[in-house]
Chain A
Amino acid sequence: MSALTKSLHPDEKYKAGKIGQSLTKIGAGIAVVFLAISVVLGATHGDHWKRFLYSYVIGWSYIFSICVGVFWLVLLHHLVRGRWATVVRRVAEAMSMAFPIVFVAGLVFVIPLVAGYTDLYYWAHPDAAKCLVPAATGCHEYLNPTLVHKLGWLSPGFFAVRYVVYGVLYTAMAAYFHKKSREQDDSGDPNISEKLRVASGPAMIVYALITCLVAFDVLMSMAPKWYSTIYGVSFWGSACVGAFAALGLVVLGIQRTGRLTHSVNPEHYHDIGKWMFAFTFFWAYTAFSQFMLQWYGNMPEETVWYKYRLFGDWQWVSIAILVGFWAFPFVFLMSRWTKRIVPSLVFFAVWQLVFHWLDLYWNVMPSYDWLRAEHDGATLVSGPLTGATALHHVGFSPLDVTVWIGLIGVLLVGFGRNLRGNLIPVKDPTLGMSLAHENL
Chain B
Amino acid sequence: MTESHDHDHESFDGGGDADVEEGRLFGVLAEYDTPGELVEAARRVRDAGYTDFDCYSPFPVHGIDDAMGIKRTILPALVFGGGVTGTVGGLLLQWWCNAYNWPWNISGKPTWSIPANVPIAFEATILLAVFTTFFGMWILNRLPQVWHPFFRNERFNHATDDAFLLGIEARDRRFDPVATKKLLVDAGAISVDNVHLDPDPTAHHMPKWITAFIVASTAFALIPFAIAAKARTSHSAEPHIHIFPDMDFQPKYKSDQAMDLFEDGRENRGELSGTIARGSLNADDLFYRGLENGQWTVNFPKQVELNEQTIRRGKNRFEIYCTPCHGFDGRGMGAVPTRVAAGGGAWQARNLVDASNPVAIDMPNGQLFNTISNGYNTMMGYAAQIPFADRWAIVLYVRALQRSQNASLEDIPTDHRSDMQMPEAPSK
Contact = CB atoms under 8 A, between A and B. Distances in A.
Q: Chain A, interface size: which category?
A: 20 to 34
Given A2-B62, A440-B62, A372 B427 contact: yes
Nearest to B62: A438
A296 to B, nearest CB: 7
Interface in B410-425: 415, 418-419, 421, 423-425
B169 to A, nearest CB: 25
Contact of B418 (A3, A336, A377): A377
A372 B119 CA distance: 40
B207 interface: no
A68 B65 CA distance: 38
A1 B36 CA distance: 7
Contacts of B428: 47, 369-370
Contact of B63 (A295, A296, A438): A438
Nearest to A137: B308
Interface string B25-67: 0000000000110011000000000000000000011111101
Contacts of A334: 80
A428 B419 CA distance: 71
A11 interface: no
A284 to B, nearest CB: 10
Contact of A374 (B65, B67, B421): B421
A392 B425 CA distance: 10
B427 A291 contact: no
A436 B63 CA distance: 11
A292 interface: yes
A172 interface: no
Interface string B331-370: 0000000000000000000000000000000000000000
B105 to A, nearest CB: 16
Contacts of B76: 335-336
A292 B299 CA distance: 50
B116 interface: yes
B424 A288 contact: no
Contacts of B80: 334
B54 to A, nearest CB: 17
A185 B62 CA distance: 29
Interface in A314-346: 334-336
Q: Chain B, interface size: which category?
A: 20 to 34
Interface in B290-335: none
B88 interface: no
A230 B39 CA distance: 48
Given A2-B36, A3-B36, A374-B418, A369 B62 contact: no
B224 interface: no
Contact of B39 (A2, A370, A373, A391): A2
B62 A288 contact: no
A371 B423 contact: yes
B115 interface: yes
B295 to A, nearest CB: 37
Contacts of A371: 423-424, 426-427
Contacts of A382: 423
Nearest to B415: A376
Contacts of B67: 2
B130 interface: no
B229 to A, nearest CB: 37
A343 to B, nearest CB: 21
Contacts of B421: 374
B332 to A, nearest CB: 24
Contacts of A372: 423-424, 426-427
B68 to A, nearest CB: 12
A387 interface: yes
Nearest to A267: B62
Interface in A1-28: 1-4
A369 B119 CA distance: 34
Interface string A415-438: 000000000000000000000101
Contact of B426 (A2, A369, A375, A377): A369
A288 B80 CA distance: 22
Nearest to A440: B60
B139 interface: no
Contact of A387 (B116, B118, B418, B423): B423
A375 B39 contact: no
Nearest to B119: A292
Contacts of B60: 440
Contacts of B36: 1-3
B426 A370 contact: yes
B61 A391 contact: no
A391 B60 CA distance: 61
Interface in A260-301: 288, 291-292, 295-296
A391 B425 CA distance: 7
Nearest to B67: A2
Interface string A330-372: 0000111000000000000000000000000000000001111
B63 A374 contact: no
Nearest to B60: A440
A2 B423 contact: no
A292 B425 CA distance: 31
Nearest to A336: B76
Contacts of A291: 115
Contacts of A436: 62
Contact of A292 (B62, B65, B118, B418): B118
Nearest to B107: A298
A352 to B, nearest CB: 21
A292 B116 CA distance: 7
Nearest to A436: B62
A374 B76 CA distance: 62
Contacts of A47: 428
Given A2-B67, A291-B115, A336-B76, A374 B62 contact: no
A437 to B, nearest CB: 9
B423 A373 contact: yes
Interface of A: 1-4, 47, 288, 291-292, 295-296, 334-336, 369-377, 382, 387, 391-392, 436, 438, 440
23 contacts: A1-B36, A2-B61, A2-B62, A2-B67, A3-B36, A47-B428, A288-B118, A291-B115, A292-B115, A292-B118, A295-B115, A296-B116, A370-B426, A370-B428, A372-B424, A372-B427, A374-B418, A374-B421, A374-B423, A375-B419, A376-B418, A436-B62, A438-B63
Given A2-B62, A292-B119, A370-B427, 10 more contacts: A1-B39, A2-B61, A2-B67, A47-B428, A369-B428, A372-B423, A392-B426, A438-B62, A438-B63, A440-B65
| Cβ-closest 8 pairs across A and B | A2-B63, A373-B423, A438-B62, A371-B426, A391-B426, A2-B39, A2-B62, A369-B426
